[in-house]
Amino acid sequence: MSKTKIFSILLFLVAVVIGYFFVRSVADDIQREEQIVKEERRVIEKLKLIRSGMIAYQKVNGQYTSDWDKLINFIDTGKFYLTERSERIIPRDYGGDSVVINIDTLGTIPVYDSLYADVPNFKLSNLPYKPGTKTKFDIYADKIVKGAIKVDVFEVKDPNPINPKRRKDDNERALRIGSRSDVTTSGNWE
């Protein structure tokens, strides 16, 4: 066998090995991206469940909470009042109208049944935890002044994002609902 043939076979084998590692690298990157997307979907779904609980807590208690135990206890034992509102307009002799509003309480419904009864495989004790981990979401609640009015705000944030892009600047872009400085219950992915 000539040196040219040996060199050609050797070069071909090197090209095959380099091609294999290149394809493998691209496949690993695609698989990693799919894993990140899947994990972020699970985190977003959990954040939506938490948002429902926080909004319910605020409606009943008049403020948000930054204590997971209080939120879980409220969801477990709290109740919503079912009310019916009716209005009656009474015309006055001088041309104006008077409005009488009646609000009747018809009963109560447990918060858990109202919010989470239809969620498959839902465990209330796992609500504060990032899916598949023992890491709790960061939770914050306070009152801030907006335009001379005190308003309630809350933020629930993923403390350890799987996506390297979200970890930049001390997890500044981590998945979260609410805000520490704005009145919102939206998620930063919406």
Separation between Cα atoms, residue 159 and residue 172, nearest integer Å: 10
Residue 135: inside a domain: yes
Total number of domains in the chain: 1
Residue type for position 38: K
- State which residues form the domain around 29: 3-178
Q: 23 - beta bridge partners?
A: none
Sequential pLDDT tens for the chain (190 residues): 788 888 788 888 888 888 888 888 887 778 888 888 888 899 899 999 999 999 999 998 989 999 999 999 999 998 888 888 888 888 888 878 888 888 888 888 888 888 888 888 888 889 999 988 888 999 999 998 888 888 999 999 988 887 777 767 666 778 889 988 888 888 888 7
| Per-residue pLDDT, 170 | 67
Other CB atoms within 10 Å distance of the CB of residue 162: 19
Residue 184: inside a domain: no
